[in-house]
Amino acid sequence: KNQVEQSPQSLIILEGKNCTLQCNYTVSPFSNLRWYKQDTGRGPVSLTIMTFSENTKSNGRYTATLDADTKQSSLHITASQLSDSASYICVVTPGREYNFNKFYFGSGTKLNVKP
Amino acid sequence: DGGITQSPKYLFRKEGQNVTLSCEQNLNHDAMYWYRQDPGQGLRLIYYSQIVNDFQKGDIAEGYSVSREKKESFPLTVTSAQKNPTAFYLCASSIASGGYNEQFFGPGTRLTVL
């Protein structure tokens, strides 16, 4: 069964600290993995997208890694800011053999950055 | 100012009523999607449309209906047949269908059944 599991469900850190969010998936074949940031009561916004051949991709203080062999991805946030408080959602798209519009969403990690 | 808009932001419905959620985009995107978000769950696809006058059921289409008469608009109707409609509804669009194309999401509509 194709699934996307995220951990932890929620996380509280102090402003300025680093944190790492995890995403494990069983989706196969794999096309790409995207991380979204969703502020409370808002729509998700894309942070990064990674394909099979990419191991690391950065977007400012956000760095995503992908290990396609173990089907794991992580999102590392450096020097956290209060504005990083949000839910972070991992989304996996299966390969071309599957429904081209099928996306597998994780349930998200809710990050709370405290001053 | 390009983007995707949804209205209303909050919607209250009495049991037995149909309600329609609006989704408009001026990004010139061909593909549009409707998702439902419940606490502790990933987004679930209700309907999607790859092109004008065409739409397909997603994973949880029962109790919902859509239309795609214009490229810019993809309204969702929540019918009285939907047994548990209270949720956060998100509309998205992408330049074309296909998983590599980024989905741009609207701000969402929170529907509450009284």
CB within 8 Å: A101 and B50: yes
Euclidean distance between CA atoms A45 and A37, whole angstroms: 5
Mean pLDDT, residues A30-53 taken together = 92
Task: Round the average pLDDT of chain A to a whole number and report it.
Answer: 92
Give the three-state DSSP class for B84.
coil
Asked whether the predicted pLDDT for residue B10 surpasses 90, the reply is yes
Handedness of CA A87, B50, B28, B102 (dihedral sign): positive
Radius of gyration (C-alpha) of chain A in whole angstroms: 14
Mean pLDDT lowest for which of A56-65, B65-74, B80-89? B80-89
- Which of the four pLDDT bands, split at 50, 70 and 90, describes residue B27? very high
- In this predicted structure, what is the pLDDT of residue A29? 82
Contact between residue A61 and residue A77 where contact means Cβ atoms under 8 Å apart: yes
The label of the residue with tokens 């608009």 reads: B73
Asked whether the predicted pLDDT for residue A89 surpasses 80, the reply is yes
Q: Give the residue on A whose Cα is nearest the Cα of B102.
A: A46
Residue-wise pLDDT for B93-107, tens only, equals 998 777 677 889 999
- Sequence letter at residue B25: Q
Residue-wise pLDDT for A71-84, tens only, equals 999 999 999 999 99
Task: Round the average pLDDT of chain B to a whole number and report it.
Answer: 92
- In this predicted structure, what is the pLDDT of residue A98? 53
Strand boundaries in chain A, DSSP class E: 4-7, 10-14, 19-25, 30-38, 45-51, 56-59, 62-67, 72-77, 86-94, 104-105, 109-114
B33: nearest Cα among B82, B89, B113: B89
Alpha-carbon distance B98 to nearest alpha carbon in chain A (angstroms): 5
Residue-wise pLDDT for A30-41, tens only, equals 888 999 999 999
CB within 8 Å: B106 and A43: yes
CB within 8 Å: A89 and B42: yes
CB within 8 Å: B99 and A105: no
